[in-house]
Structure formats: C-alpha cells, structure tokens
Chain A
Amino acid sequence: MKKISLRFIGALIAAFAILLHSGAVRAELRIDITSGKIEPLPIAVPALAGGAPNESQAGQDLAGVVSADLERSGLFRPLDPRSFIQNVSVADAQPQFGDWRQINAQALVTGSVKTQADGRLRVEFRLWDVFAEQQLTGYGYTTTQQNWRRIAHIIADEVYKRITGEEGYFDTRIVYVSESGPPEKRVKRLALMDQDSANNRFLTDGRALVLTPRFSPTAQEITYLSYANGTPRVYLFNIDTGQQEVVGDFPGMTFAPRFSPDGNRVVLSRAENGVSNLFSLDLRTRRPTRLTDSQAIDTSPSFSPDGSKIVFNSDRGGSQQLYVMSADGGGAKRISFGSGKYGTPVWSPRGDLVAFTKIDGSSFFIGVMRPDGSGERLLTRDFLVEGPTWAPNGRVLMYFRQSPSDSRGHGGSPHLYSIDLTGSNQREVTTPQDASDPAWSPLLR
C-alpha cells in the first residue's frame, strides 16, 4: 500500500488564554441543548483581522470555517457578513456593541491573525456577550500555516463549549468507506476527512474490499476489516506511517474490530465452524482471550467509555438483539426488548446511552436507549439507515442512509448523515463519492 505521510497530530498547537477585557464573567449567554427544539443563537463571526494580504485572507478563511461549524450544529445562526456595521479591522479593539445589537447579534467573535518571524501562524480570538457587553472567553494559538483549519475548529469548539456548557466536537475527523462502481462489484476504499468534509484522502486503493473502520483512542491508528489476501481479516493501520499489520493469528474470518478505551486491546468477532464469537486481543502481548462461547452470532461489540463493559449484538436468543456483558466476558444480559431486531450498538462517550440500528418490518431505524435497555427512542427511519457513530461529546450521531435500488442498479448510493441526539438537525455530510461505515474520532487535542 502506498505510504501516506500525513501531518496528523504532528504540528503542535500551543494555546494560551487571553486576558478578559472587563471584570467578572457572567454565564448568562447559554443554550440548553438538551431541550427539544431550540431557536439557533444569532452570532456574528467577522473575518479575523490581519495586516498583510495573506493574513487577512487567513482571517476570512478562519471565520468561514468557524461559522460553518457553528451553523452545522443547528444551535447557532451566523449572521451574514454583508450586514455587519462595524468593520473589525483592528485586532484587540473593544467592539462597538451597539453596532452588533443593531443587527441582532447576541454573540460576537473577534480576533486576529499574524504571521510570526518563524513563519508560523498566531491566531487570537475573543467571544463576546453582545447584550452584556462582556468578554466570555479568549485564547491564542500558534501553529504551522497548513494547520489553520484545526485552529478554526478549536475556536468553534471553545465558542460551542462556552455557550452550551458542553464539550464541542468540531476538532475531529471521520474515517469511513468511500464507495463507487456498480452494486454487484462495488469498489470500497478507506477514507479519512475532517468532520466538515475538508481534507478528504483515501487510505486504500480499492483493490481489496474494506469495511467497518474504527479509530484508536489517540486517533493515530485505525482498525478495520480487509479482504486483501483472500480471507476477511482484521488489520491495524497507522495513519502517520501508513504501516499496516494483521491483528491476531486466527485461522479463518475475523471481523468487527474495535479498540478498547485505553487503546491496549482490540475486541473482534471470530468465525469458527460457522459460529461467530467475541475475542479480545492484547496489543502488547498479542494474546487472545475468548469473551463469548455461544453457538450463535456474537458481533458488533462496543466498549463502555470506562472500559468495564461491552455491548454487542447476538442472536443467541433466536433473533438479533443487544446484550451487555463484562469486558472480560461473562454475565451477558439482554437489553433490547422492542419489536424487531437490533444491531450495531455503540456506547456513547458520555456513558449514558447506547445508539443502535433497528430493523422492524420493512424499515430501518437509528435509535438510542440507556445501557440497561430503558428509554428507547428512535431518531430517524428510512428504507436503510445503519451504523451510528457518536461525536465525542455524545450529542451528535453520524450514520449512513441508502435508498432502494432498481434492477438496473440505479438508486442505492449510500451517503453519510449527521443528526442531533434530540432527533433534529439531520444533515447530509458531503463526501466525494458514495459513503458508508462512518466512525467519529475523539477530539484531536
């Protein structure tokens, strides 16, 4: 496989808080994102001020990415820059709050961009409560020029966090399967992109069928299933070095791999004589441990964030349902009891919910339930929706949706979608080709 050199985490981002302009901070500007339908908060994000032409271009680009992130969350309504009255061309100036109140902005982001002598970028921002005329937060960052998008995402995360009280999710990546070709001979390639669809790149060349990738907790490695060399096997892939290796020495098919939260183990399914059981593999000792020993299909495992439990789907009871067991195996208890079948469970990074795919009658659903099986809530439904993955703040899900195909192969065409935990703000995620099997990285910092 072609070696891909990616400056993934490489370029350090130095951050420092920026002193507040005025007195004590009052937490008055707040969105409660757990209450049903919310009116998006009007926010103004003018271009960050920059002196030289490349700096002012960077300032515009940064503001654009920050605005787009905030808008996509469904919680903010960035105002049209053409309506801005004050020209924020001087960095660090106290805003003319009256100008911003006039266009009904409730929050305001100002900032500046400077190229340092060593060529690195220095970006500063402040978030303002327009009505209270107070600074809410401010930070500065230094990084390489090509890392500018990450700064924008980090700023968007700070704004999101300050106003909602929740961790953000914009400084993240998505690994997924990029699809092309006719349905009976689909070409599938692993692909990696920023959560706003920028910087998309392919990790495999499409010669081997690849499926179901997942990130390691550091987001520097991926585990996935590949049919390279004929047999479906689980592989590890290092994003920085491009190095790939088979996981485990099992004869026959291994699939459905996930990292443990501490990154030391991979849990996967192994087929033996037609039966599929869960095994965990210690990545340091390479020693496998059997976790289930049923005569059934046990697959699609997911660790609880504290690493103590695993939720998985099994048909040991006669139909595909969700079970929770200890991460050492044993004590499996069924948690899904609605009508239909349940699969692809994923434990929220917050630990409070499990998202899943449900099949009932001729419809597919994405839903959530508590880890004890209570509080089942369905978020979306279609001919085929499948494979939810959580944003690291446990408030947004991504999954793929596919329409029916006709006999000439038209239709089908899976695409990625994101949806809020409340079931609102469903959006298509842009990808260069058709897409499926998304997995959301942790926050990159």
Chain B
Amino acid sequence: MRAKIIGLLGALLLLAACSSPPPEAPPAAPPGGPGGAGGIGSTNILPGSQQDLEASAGDRVFFAFDRSDISSESQQILARQADWLRRYPNVTVTIEGHCDERGTREYNLALGERRAQAVKNVLVASGIPASRISTISYGKERPMVVGSNEEAWAQNRVAITTVN
C-alpha cells in the first residue's frame, strides 16, 4: 500500500513538473499493477498519450446495430476528448471505425468509415481542427472482443480514438 502511495505521489510530482497542466483526474490504480515488493509503482501515465486519453476522457464510443448516430452518452465522452485534445495541441489522432460480424464485409467497411467520420464531425464541431483528425475503417476485420453474442457484438460496434 505504501509503495502504491509513493508511486502515486511520484506520478503527480512528475506531472506537476511538466509545463502542461495535469490531467483531469489522477489515475486510480496504475494499469501495470501495484508496485513490486521492492519499490515504487512503475506506471506513470505520460501526458498526451493513449493511456492519458483513456484515463481522462475514454477512448471509445459505441453504436447501435447498423447505426452511426452518436448517442448523448457518446456526446459527453467526445466532449471530454475534445477538451483533452485542446490541452495537447500537438497531438493528432486517428479515429478507427469498427463493426460487429453481423453484416456483409464491404458494407461494414463503409459503416465503419461512417462511424469514424461521425466522431470526427463531433470533434471538429467542438473546435478541433480537422487536420488533426484522420479516420480509418476496419469494418468487421478487427473485433475488439471475440465471441458471437450480443455482449461481444456491442463492444465491437465502436469508434476508437487512437493517438498517432
């Protein structure tokens, strides 16, 4: 427990020392697991990194079957992503659009692109320059979760914001 606290303090000190402001919320638990018996928790979240985005805002929004509309819950996540992007003006991102397996291959490539574009449109509308955001569709080719069931499919209908 003590090692965890030291690790946390260390991370905060490091962040405070940087010229960029600290992230919105300090990490609750270092993703790499608690610090070893011998020392300090070893996972610092680098500002402007993918982990930082995940921790601050969430890196993904989900979609209903065969749809690309952005839900109000997704709007909130994307608002936080936009805030985060304003905080790190040198960061560029690629929005990956994905689909579940319950559609035909080419249509899913197009649907993934439409989902990625829908996310991009929200971010651009929040004032992020379009030049900072590219899109790519993987259709149903790269499922996040394996399994032919509703839970897995819901996880795979997703647009993921990835830091370049």
Contact = CB atoms under 8 A, between A and B. Distances in A.
B163 to A, nearest CB: 15
B125 to A, nearest CB: 13
Interface residues of B, number: 32
Interface in B108-164: 109-111, 113-114, 116-118, 120-121, 135-137, 141-149, 152
B113 A300 contact: no
A387 B104 contact: yes
A209 B145 CA distance: 19
B103 to A, nearest CB: 7
Contact of A269 (B104, B110, B144, B145): B110
B141 A320 contact: no
Contacts of B111: 297
B106 A269 contact: yes
B107 interface: yes
A297 B148 CA distance: 25
B101 interface: yes
B105 A437 contact: yes
Contact of B141 (A211, A387, A406): A211
Nearest to A403: B148
B86 interface: no
A359 B102 contact: yes
A321 to B, nearest CB: 11
Contacts of B104: 300, 313, 320, 343-344, 357, 359, 386-387
A432 interface: no
Interface in A404-440: 404-409, 411-412, 437
A384 B137 contact: no
A274 B114 contact: yes
Contacts of A406: 147-148
B60 to A, nearest CB: 15
Contact of B148 (A185, A404, A437): A404
Contact of B146 (A183, A299, A343, A386): A183
Interface in A251-275: 253, 255-256, 269, 271, 273-275
A186 B106 contact: no
Nearest to A315: B107
A274 B148 contact: no
Interface in A295-348: 297, 299-300, 313, 315, 319-320, 341, 343-344
Interface of A: 182-186, 188, 209, 211-212, 225, 230-232, 253, 255-256, 269, 271, 273-276, 297, 299-300, 313, 315, 319-320, 341, 343-344, 357, 359, 383-384, 386-387, 404-409, 411-412, 437
Given A274-B114, A405-B147, A407-B145, 7 more contacts: A232-B109, A255-B106, A319-B66, A386-B104, A405-B146, A406-B147, A407-B152
